[in-house]
Structure 1
């Protein structure tokens, strides 16, 4: 399908899986990442456009918006992650403030700034998907709280853009393997505990989330907006 798609944080993990899926469908895909040394090789491997952009920096996001020509059909906000850790010896309150500021900047501001920079390029029938987390529902600390804020912002955004026939949804992912999210912090015991929480008894994959993004950008999903879609194998259930 001849669509233009922008994916922030598209060099690895979920973002890369989303880019691969849309590229295979014939879309013109743009991926972003903070560093050229990761964006450029990922773009070559996927056969897409790559733009280095730190989505927490307003000037870089403004430049990103200017570089995109023509209308934009799909925006996928996947940039995010755990907060940066303060150096040893940082006073406790300073470290706490830095942790929360990092979480909000990385997981909310990235989506807010990117969406603001390209919203005038979105047309009737366009869709926005932002990646949330199961941690927003239970004990996610500053990271979970930031993702909960992302969902609140999405509800407001959906109301603003709905009259333009643009849908906006959050995909709240559960435990997903094959990403850099946990770094070296995942143990076999923790992996098994997270798998055991699911009803399907398997972890999620980047493809599981990518397929949900792809569906939400399809005509069949165009009456779904302002929602948080839980994709977690049943680790968190709703009714």
Structure 2
């Protein structure tokens, strides 16, 4: 079964909009795991507009499933990850003022840099993943960085799926096959939703994990958080 990791950034956004601690991010992580999710994902950004760096430390004792921290490995981020030591770190090439992730790594151009960063995290016993597009040459180059996994950037698939274009899944399936042949684990994320997740899961071989935040939290406003988590688990089973 593909694991569901719930990105709780949007819960932090709601909390930060009023200050204080409502909703309680830590309690939300506890509840989401009790509802059946197999992981918690956070993506702290330099301006801390949703997840604050302190949240990463506060969550560490209560995340009993997989703990995934995403972000651009600038110095502050690396320090955070090496101190918290999550299950997995997902490297994302965001600029400092990025609204949301909108591209994967160029693993050819940044090969040496990624090798150095990944070696540092792996020496600390942290599983690594690279956020990446479906270009097969980039998948091949990812395999030589030392990373354990890749995370397929799925916005294009989600957009095309909404337009009725089911063929948009093909590059992702091809990328997954190649990644598996190269010994890489396969994660996926960005704009996956209740509408498209089952089709995606059924057509992507060797899919280890999906990280879903914006859609899942938005859907929960109407359907309830526990219900939505279990709806995703049903579609992924």
TM-score with structure 1 setting the length: 0.34
